[in-house]
Amino acid sequence: MIRGLGHSGTTVLDMALGSHPKMLGLGEAVRIVRKPTPSESGKGPARLRGQERFERRCTCGAFAAECLVWGDFLPWLSDHDADRDEDKLVELLHRVEGFAAQTSEQPLHWVIDSYQADRVMPDRLRNVQPSRPVKVVLLVRDVRSWVHSEARRSKGKRLFPVLRGLLRWWRVNSLLEKDLKASGCDVFCLGYEELALAPEQSLGRLCNWMGLDFVETMLTPGGSSRSHILSGNRMRFDPDRSARICYDSAWLSSASFLLGCALLVPPIAAMNRRLVYSQGVLGQSWPLRPSQRRSSSGEGRRDKPQ
């Protein structure tokens, strides 16, 4: 299970892992299996229970209603929405295992869920099926990069977007870290910067933690992934953005005073280094200090993997 704030690379990591012959990604599966509330009637999970399953495509290329993973499950889901979320997820996992046994020569070792907003499912799923191992990847983006990205998306709709972003980054990651420690699940901390700038080393360590060998197809998720994603970041359908794992370095040219001072707050700086750079694959040059930003990158440049 990949957990972390939205827009932290969860979908591209899901697709990269799904490019391994012994793994299969499901995107935000937990979000889909949960019964939509009345206020969510216009959102994706609710619409997938109806006509939209004949209109929305899976990353496998088929419409949801014709997907070999989701096609029969979505009508079943509509009839069993009163069941517990973890029971519905277990039913989906059983169907995925059957699908993999029929269509792949390689045994399926891991199924990936990347619903970043969920905080309780890892523990609940482990309790429902104690024989089924549950591992969690806590994926965290550098506070400066994430806040800059959130501020750009707000497009002036919010007051003090940088300050709001800093507080949200700190609060959500604090809760995630606390919950995952209490869950007793095996947790791997991975930074978006490490994944995007040193993908081979980062994915290699991740595969080792999962008991698998690294395969090079993971570096080209758009053309290699076997993931069946119905809900996730739209980049999954962009052939240029999903062709390889790249880093969006636009934040390096930001003139925001608050962004530049983010790491001057000791608790934020400590969490940023602990969660984002824990694997140490970027050497001593990262994370960059504020004084290094302007000379390091141009606006909007996407760095290729090192």
CA–CA gap between residue 173 and residue 138 (Å, rounded): 9
Omega before 287 cis (within 30°)? yes
CA angle 211, 214, 219 (to 5 degrees): 140
Q: Is the pLDDT of residue 298 over 50?
A: no
pLDDT in tens, 34-81: 999 999 988 889 999 999 999 999 999 999 999 999 999 999 999 999
Question: Which residues have CB under 8 Å from 1's CB, separation 6+?
Answer: 112, 113, 114, 115, 118, 121, 122, 125, 134, 135, 136, 137
C-beta pairs of 282-288 under 8 Å, 24+ apart in sequence = 282/193, 282/194, 282/197, 282/198, 286/193, 286/197, 287/142, 287/144, 287/193, 287/263, 288/252
**What class is the 2-303 domain?**
alpha beta
State the pTM of this model: 0.88
Q: Is 262 left (phi over 0), alpha (psi -120 to 50) or beta?
A: alpha
Radius of gyration of the CA atoms of the chain, in A: 19
pLDDT in tens, 127-162: 888 888 999 999 999 999 999 998 888 776 665 888
Domain residue ranges of the chain, discontinuous segments joined by +: 2-303
pLDDT in tens, 190-222: 999 999 999 999 999 999 999 999 999 999 988
User: Are the C-beta atoms of 63 and 53 separated by less than 8 Å?
Assistant: yes
